[in-house]
């Protein structure tokens, strides 16, 4: 069995080109698998039955005196490694049947997006604009655009000056796979961008090249395009400045915080999920529907605290 595991890991390394960290994780998972089989009296892969693979999955989730219970995500990775091992052995003719083919990895719990209340979003934007000088105007404009359009951070920092049509009040975003979409943008974001373009961007651009002055909308202190990492740092710094008074914590923000808040607040306001899908640039409405779970939770909370027959 050890020879088959070694051959499988070599196959993944040489022929599949998997990363070293992935190989290390698979090696650890398969070592635990072979130990589990040995403890059950199984001496070779040819003796393994589907029930043994299912029992291993159950053991992963249950844990034991040596191993804590694994999350669904970690257990799924281990099962993928085991399924791959059995498929490899079957294709190489080392066993007659792929007994793990029908054992499905556990589904990971769906993580709901973190959306901030409207008041917290306002506090975050105010915190970004609290800096004196050009950076404060830039940071406020950036956060207004993120919240006003639902753009990903990478999409926002990829904007050029010409991508913002202030006359039509729309922004052209380049999403995943280079797919472009036109998204309406509100007056708050347009006003913040206008202030930044007139009062801040020329000063930032003066520190850089003519290419920076003619291209990217959001510039760094050296006059070059703002990076995704810098935009993320701006968001975290804004959360720190907003502080506990607005109940905004650095732990509450992520690169997608304003995007999640944009989608959730639209649905809370009655927007159709397919409209939100188009605004977010999701290929499938299924991806967008996760936000409806957030709004249903909110509706349930309001119902429980407001309806006279909901009280217990």
Pick the CATH number of 2-91 from 1.10.150, 1.25.40, 3.40.1130, 2.60.40: 1.10.150
CATH 3.40.50.150 assigned to 118-255: no
What's residue 213's pLDDT?
Answer: 46
Give me 132's structure tokens. Answer: 């004196």
* The domains spanning 2-91 and 118-255 adopt the same CATH topology: no
Which of 140, 241, 259, 265 is the catalytic position?
259
Query: Residue ranges per domain, the chain?
Result: 2-91, 118-255
- Residue numbers of the chain with a pLDDT score lower than 50: 212-213
List CB contacts of 229: < 8 A, sequence separation 6 or more: none
Report which secondary-structure segment, H or E, holds 275: helix 273-280
Active site residue 179: no
Residue whose structure tokens are 């000056």: 161
What's residue 112's pLDDT?
Answer: 65
Other residues' Cβ atoms within 10 Å of the Cβ of residue 13: 15
Give me 133's structure tokens. Answer: 């000088």
What's residue 250's pLDDT?
Answer: 80
Instruction: Report d(CA 90, CA 304) in Å as an integer.
Output: 55
Active site residue 282: yes
What's residue 310's pLDDT?
Answer: 67
Instruction: Report d(CA 99, CA 45) in Å as an integer.
Output: 9
Which of 11, 87, 256, 298 is the catalytic position?
256
Give the full edge-to-edge strand order of the sheet including 180-184.
Answer: 164-165, 170-174, 180-184
Which of 104, 176, 222, 274 is the catalytic position?
176
Q: What are phi and psi for residue 128, nearest 5 degrees?
A: -65, -35
């Amino acid at each position: 069995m050890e020879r088959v595991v070694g051959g499988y890991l070599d196959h993944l390394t040489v022929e599949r080109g998997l990363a070293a960290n992935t190989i290390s994780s698979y090696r650890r998972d398969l070592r635990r698998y072979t130990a589990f089989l040995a403890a059950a009296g199984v001496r070779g892969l040819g003796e393994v039955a589907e029930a043994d693979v299912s029992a291993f999955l159950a053991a992963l989730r249950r844990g034991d005196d040596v191993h804590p219970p694994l999350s669904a995500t970690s257990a799924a990775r281990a099962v993928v490694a085991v399924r791959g091992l059995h498929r490899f052995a079957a294709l190489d003719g080392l066993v007659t049947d792929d007994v793990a083919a029908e054992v499905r990895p556990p589904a990971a719990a769906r993580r709901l997006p973190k959306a901030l209340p409207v008041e917290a979003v306002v506090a975050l934007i105010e915190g970004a604009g609290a800096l004196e000088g050009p950076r404060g105007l830039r940071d406020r404009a950036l956060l207004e655009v993120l919240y006003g359009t639902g753009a990903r951070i990478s999409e926002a920092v990829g904007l050029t000056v010409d991508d913002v049509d202030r006359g039509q009040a729309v922004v052209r975003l380049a999403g995943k796979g280079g797919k472009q979409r036109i998204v309406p943008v509100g007056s708050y974001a347009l006003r913040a961008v206008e202030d930044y373009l007139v009062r801040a961007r020329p000063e930032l651009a003066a520190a850089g090249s003519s290419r920076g002055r003619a291209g990217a909308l959001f510039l760094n202190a050296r006059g070059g395009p703002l990076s995704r990492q810098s935009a993320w740092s701006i968001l975290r710094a804004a959360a720190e400045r907003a502080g506990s008074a607005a109940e905004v914590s650095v732990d509450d923000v992520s690169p997608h915080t304003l995007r999640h808040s944009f989608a959730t607040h639209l649905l809370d306001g009655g927007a159709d999920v397919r409209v939100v899908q188009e605004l977010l640039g999701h290929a499938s409405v299924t991806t967008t529907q996760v936000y409806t779970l957030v709004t249903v939770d909110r509706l349930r909370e309001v119902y429980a605290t407001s309806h006279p027959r909901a009280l217990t």
